[in-house]
């Protein structure tokens, strides 16, 4: 038998951690709200059942205000999972139970996974599980998803419920009186009217305790009106409550006829009005009263109130004055380790192994068996030099992502968004946009796709414009090569400057766009700061491995192909004859054509021009191109060659700035096109990037020349 | 021997070119189907 289980809960309550623990998947888990934007599916077998587990985006309610809420609500109401596992954060019981009350009204079988129970105990609090179960009438399983504790019991009880569901439905089919829930309710409502209300409820009985008598009667009345509506059959109570709230999506879905609309209006008129609050507020108010009563009954404080460790850390890291300097200090420290002597030592080691020892051995071996010299050149100076030039930076990329993952898993990234809310507000954005921007430090493609968490269309466009300014990991090999060649003494400082420059220019660029093409209302930003937690090694490994896997995959496919093309363009002249002189090659012809554009920026040589051109395929290709152009497999040779190309460190810095700011790679442009939804905006975004890159590099080179 | 290796290198280069182009097109900004499972690192649900 096959069943579908849905994981539903508030943002950052541990859904994806539980999903990974149950399915054995390696989905991205972050200690910040909004990690899951789309639903994800995983499969596993348990108790003879094939189960599909669906990880839904985190939501605070089933009101359709954000894209996450729309995705989750659509799935829960339309796909009707066989069982809902509602993950409730035990440390935030009151807020989490709000969603529980809505899920209970969907009328689907449900179990509560009370997560982070270990943290609750640390805070000196306790929850009476048995009493919570009795009060809600819903099974409750205490778990700690991060420590994988209590998960077996949760699955065991879930399987038990699924068995019951399968058994009762089979029984109904066998006895020939299978009815769907709406039909059962229809019958039940008739029995209520006839005074024969003796049958058991088909949904959780507790849902009738949420509201005052008048509201409850009105909702039941609406249920009676819509129970024949096919769109309301699977979630009658939920639809009735939503109609009570005047929910536009439900109205649109049900498409009630005039008569039914009038009946609903009549029922709603019977509800005593409160001039201070609308009906939606009445429902929320009733729910919270119900939740407060339950929380008071089940939660107890064993120790007196103590400031948590998170509170203490936050006093420093989110301090009004110190927060931003602390943020930059942390980032600077990460760059110090990644690009300092430790990171460089690892890179040198890999470089020696691949680009010196292996490449040297391969060249000698191939020539000794009389392989054609041009074929050896294609393999060693083209493919190997191109890919090897980039792969040697693998340890530094791994280190950078290791530290960024620690920041993310520990909960600091949420603080970073909170801290950056102030500066971002100045450009008309909120801290919510900082999350996709931070993802942009990894790769622009998922970061741009991640902007769909932003409800406001203007915010989304503005954030998509800003993301390419964040220095993605593909640009790192370029920086690493150039700082080795020109800034050996100040490696971390230069890298730090580049990253900060990207952020500042992104914000400045947002400010200009806000005042010109993207005018509009500012949106509000409410964000939950998760508790600090120690990152697990498993999660860190998943994060770093995902990034390295992408990097290696790109090196073995796109970069390898680009290396072959660049080798060909560099080894043949315009008459398609092989040439030993790079100056007469096709590549040189292309480079010479576009080099004058870059001359005012300090790097008017054709080699830099073609390297930048090839960087549009993938940013790492800039380094590959230098590797192939100078037949330089090892880093030392590449460094010497690059030193010979640029007249001064200032010209080299101007080049780095241009690489940081110019058009992102093809994949990123495609993602931008997809999210901005139009060629006009995509072209505008590309032109904007190129213009900013040229202008800033020009200013860096020329103003820098006056000062230095 | 040298000729065989030469041919193999050429085949490898052509294959690398083809794989690179196919991979590049397949991963230009997420899935072609638009379900976004690529960026979410999950199974395509379409």
Q: Measured between CB atoms, does A24 come within 8 Å of chain B?
A: no
Q: Give per-residue burial for A133-166: e unless 16+ CB within 10 Å, then b.
A: bebbebbbbbbbbbebebbeebbebbbebbeeee
Is A558 in the B-facing interface, judged by CB distances under 8 Å?
A: yes
According to the model, what pLDDT value does residue A197 have?
Answer: 40
ipTM above 0.85, yes or no: no
| B5 with A553: Cβ contact below 8 A | no
Give the distance from residue B32's alpha carbon to the nearest chain A alpha carbon, in angstroms. Answer: 11
A41 and B43 within 8 Å at the Cβ level: the answer is yes
Pick B42's closest partner by Cβ from A27, A372, A375: A27
The pLDDT value recorded for residue A460 is 82
Structure confidence at residue B44 as a pLDDT band (50, 70, 90): very low
Q: How far apart are CA A108 and CA A295, in angstroms?
A: 23
Q: In chain B, which residues have their Cβ closer than 8 Å to the Cβ of A37?
A: 36, 40
* pLDDT given for residue B31 in this prediction: 44
Closest CA to A432 of A458, A406, A410, A396: A458
Q: Could you report the per-residue pLDDT of A549-591, keeping only the tens digit for each?
A: 877 888 888 888 988 998 898 889 888 888 878 788 898 999 9
User: How close A668 comes to chain B (CA, Å)?
Assistant: 6
The pLDDT assigned to A708 comes to 73
The packing angle between helices A323-339 and A394-410, to 10°, is 150
Tokens describing residue A318: 């989110």
Q: Cβ separation of A28 and B41 shorter than 8 Å?
A: yes
Q: Is the dihedral of CA A363, A366, A370, A374 positive or negative?
A: negative
Q: Is A71 helix (H, G, I), strand (E, B) or coil?
A: helix
Instruction: Please check whether residue B5 touches A, CB under 8 A.
Output: yes
CB-based contact, B21 to chain A, within 8 Å: yes
CB hemisphere CA count around A691 (13 angstroms): 7
Q: At what angle do helices A309-317 and A412-425 cross, to 10 degrees?
A: 30
Chain B residue with CA closest to A448: the answer is B29
pLDDT at A529 exceeding the cut of 60: yes
- Cβ of A548 under 8 Å from any chain B Cβ? no
Query: pLDDT digit string (tens) for A258-298?
Result: 898 899 998 988 888 776 778 888 899 899 999 999 999 99
Asked if A527 and A318 touch (Cβ cutoff 8 Å), the reply is no
pLDDT, tens only, A478-527: 998 899 899 988 888 898 899 999 988 988 888 888 888 777 766 666 67
Q: Does B46 touch chain A (CB under 8 A)?
A: no
Which residues fall within 8 angstroms of residue A620, CB to CB, at 6 or more apart?
Answer: A390, A474, A477, A478, A554, A555, A559
pLDDT, averaged across chain B = 69
Q: Sketch the domain layout of chain B as residue ranges.
A: 1-46
| C-beta contacts of A339-344 below 8 A and 24+ residues apart | A339/A396, A339/A480, A339/A483, A339/A491, A339/A492, A339/A495, A340/A491, A340/A492, A342/A399, A343/A395, A343/A396, A343/A399, A344/A396, A344/A484, A344/A491
How many CB pairs below 8 A link A and B? Answer: 110
Sheet containing A83-89: which strands, arranged edge to edge? A40-46, A49-55, A2-9, A83-89, A110-115, A140-142
CB contact under 8 A, A37 and B40: yes
**CA A436, CA A432: separation in Å to the nearest integer?**
8
* Mean pLDDT for chain A overall: 83
pLDDT at A27: 58
Task: Find the closest chain A residue to B28 by CA distance.
Answer: A667
A578 near B CB under 8 A: no
Q: Tens of pLDDT along A68-127?
A: 777 788 888 888 889 999 999 998 899 999 999 999 998 889 999 999 998 888 888 899
Task: Check CB contact of A616 with chain B, cutoff 8 Å.
Answer: no
Task: Please determine, for residue A612, whether its predicted confidence score (pLDDT) is greater than 60.
Answer: yes
Whether residues B40 and A38 touch (CB distance < 8 A) is answered with: yes
Q: Chain A partners of B45 at a C-beta cutoff of 8 Å?
A: 39, 41
User: What chain B residue is nearest to A384 in terms of C-alpha separation?
Assistant: B13
DSSP structural state of residue A389: H
Report the DSSP pairing between strands A110-115 and A125-127.
unpaired
Has residue A35 got a pLDDT over 60? no
Which of A370, A375, A666 is facing B28, going by the closest CB pair?
A666
pLDDT of the residue at B30: 45
Q: Is A516 exposed, middle or buried (0-12, 13-18, 19+ CB in 10 A)?
A: exposed
Select from A20, A372, A673 the residue whose CB has the most chain B CBs within 10 Å, as the one to mutate to test that interface. A372
Shortest CA distance from A665: residue in chain B:
B28
Q: Which residue has the higher pLDDT, A441 or A302?
A: A441
Query: What letters, b where the CB count within 10 A reaches 16 and e where it falls short, cover A85-115?
Result: bbbbbbbbbebbbbbbbbbbbbbbbbbbbbb
Structure confidence by residue, pLDDT tens digits, A295-328: 999 988 766 666 778 888 888 888 888 998 998 8
Q: Is B13 on the interface with A (CB under 8 A)?
A: yes
The boundaries of every CATH 1.10.287 domain in chain A are 181-272
What's the CATH number for A181-272?
Answer: 1.10.287
Q: Is A78 on the interface with B (CB under 8 A)?
A: no
pLDDT computed for residue A198 by the predictor: 39
- Among A204-218, A298-312, A339-353, which is the least confidently predicted range? A298-312
pLDDT in tens, A220-245: 899 889 888 888 877 888 999 999 98
- DSSP H/E element including A53: strand A49-55
The CATH number, out of the four listed (3.90.180.10, 3.40.470.10, 3.40.50.300, 3.30.70.270), of the domain defined by the range A2-175: 3.40.50.300
- A366 to chain B: nearest residue by CA? B2
pLDDT score recorded for residue A154? 93
């Amino acid at each position: 038998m096959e069943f579908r289980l849905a994981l539903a809960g508030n943002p950052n309550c541990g859904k994806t951690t539980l999903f990974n623990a149950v399915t054995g998947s390696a989905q991205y888990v972050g200690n910040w709200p909004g990690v899951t934007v789309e639903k994800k599916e995983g499969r596993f077998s348990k108790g003879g059942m094939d189960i599909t587990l669906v990880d839904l985006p985190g939501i605070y309610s089933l009101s359709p205000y954000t894209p996450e809420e729309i995705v989750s609500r659509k799935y829960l109401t339309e796909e009707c999972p066989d069982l809902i596992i509602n993950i409730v954060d035990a440390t935030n019981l009151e807020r989490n139970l709000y969603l529980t009350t809505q899920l209970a009204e969907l009328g689907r079988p449900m179990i509560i996974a009370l997560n982070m129970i270990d943290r609750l105990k640390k805070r000196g609090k306790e929850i009476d599980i048995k009493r919570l179960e009795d009060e809600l009438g819903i099974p409750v399983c205490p778990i700690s998803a991060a420590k994988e504790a209590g998960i077996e019991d949760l699955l065991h009880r879930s399987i038990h419920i699924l068995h019951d569901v399968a058994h009762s439905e089979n029984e109904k089919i066998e006895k020939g009186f299978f009815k769907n829930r709406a039909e059962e309710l229809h019958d039940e409502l008739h029995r209520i009217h006839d005074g024969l209300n003796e049958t058991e409820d088909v949904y959780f009985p507790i849902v009738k305790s949420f509201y005052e008598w008048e509201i409850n009667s009105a909702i039941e009345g609406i249920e009676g009106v819509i129970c024949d509506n096919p769109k309301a059959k699977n979630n009658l109570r939920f639809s009735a409550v939503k109609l009570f709230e005047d929910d536009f999506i439900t109205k649109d879905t049900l498409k009630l006829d005039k008569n039914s609309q009038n009946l609903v209006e009549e029922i709603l008129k019977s509800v005593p009005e409160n001039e201070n609050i609308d009906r939606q507020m009445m429902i929320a108010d009733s729910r919270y009263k119900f939740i407060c009563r339950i929380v008071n009954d089940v939660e107890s404080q064993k120790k007196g109130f103590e400031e948590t460790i998170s509170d203490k850390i936050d006093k420093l890291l989110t301090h009004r004055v110190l927060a931003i300097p602390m943020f930059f200090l942390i980032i600077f420290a990460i760059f110090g380790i990644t690009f300092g002597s430790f990171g460089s030592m690892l890179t040198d080691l890999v470089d020696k192994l691949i680009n010196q020892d292996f490449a040297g051995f391969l060249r000698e071996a191939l020539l000794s068996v009389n392989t054609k010299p041009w074929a050896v050149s294609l393999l060693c100076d083209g493919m190997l030099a191109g890919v090897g030039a980039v792969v040697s930076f693998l340890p530094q990329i791994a280190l950078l992502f290791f530290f960024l993952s620690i920041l993310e898993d520990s909960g600091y990234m949420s603080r970073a968004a909170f801290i950056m809310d102030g500066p971002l507000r100045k450009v008309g954005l909120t801290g919510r946009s900082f999350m996709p921007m931070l993802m942009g430090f990894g790769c622009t493609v998922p970061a741009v796709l991640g902007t769909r968490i932003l409800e406001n269309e203007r915010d989304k466009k503005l954030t998509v414009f800003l993301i390419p300014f964040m220095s993605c990991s593909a640009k790192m090999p370029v920086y690493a090569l150039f700082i080795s060649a020109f800034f050996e003494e100040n490696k971390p400082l230069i890298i730090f400057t580049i990253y900060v420059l990207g952020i500042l220019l992104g914000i400045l660029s947002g400010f200009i766009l806000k005042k010109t093409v993207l005018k509009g209302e500012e949106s509000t930003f409410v964000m939950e700061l998760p508790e600090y937690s120690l990152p697990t090694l498993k999660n860190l490994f998943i994060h770093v491995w995902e990034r390295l896997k992408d990097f290696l995959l790109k090196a073995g496919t796109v970069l390898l192909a680009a290396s072959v093309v660049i080798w060909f363009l560099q080894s043949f002249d315009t008459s398609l004859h092989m040439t030993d002189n790079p100056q007469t090659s096709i590549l040189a012809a292309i480079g010479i054509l576009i080099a004058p554009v870059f001359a005012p920026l300090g790097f008017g040589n054709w080699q830099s021009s073609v390297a930048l051109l090839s960087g549009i395929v993938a940013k790492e290709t800039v380094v590959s191109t230098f590797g192939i152009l100078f037949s330089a497999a090892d880093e030392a040779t590449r460094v010497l060659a690059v030193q010979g190309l640029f007249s001064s460190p200032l010209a080299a810095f101007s080049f780095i700035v241009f690489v940081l700011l110019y058009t992102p790679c093809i994949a990123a442009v495609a993602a931008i096109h997809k999210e901005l939804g139009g060629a006009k905006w995509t072209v505008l975004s590309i032109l904007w990037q190129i213009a900013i890159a040229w202008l800033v590099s020009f200013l860096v080179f020329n103003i820098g020349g006056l000062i230095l | 021997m040298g000729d065989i290796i030469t041919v193999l290198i050429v085949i490898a280069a052509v294959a690398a070119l083809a794989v690179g182009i196919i991979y590049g097109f397949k991963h230009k900004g997420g899935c072609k189907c638009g379900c976004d499972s690529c960026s979410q690192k999950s199974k395509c649900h379409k």
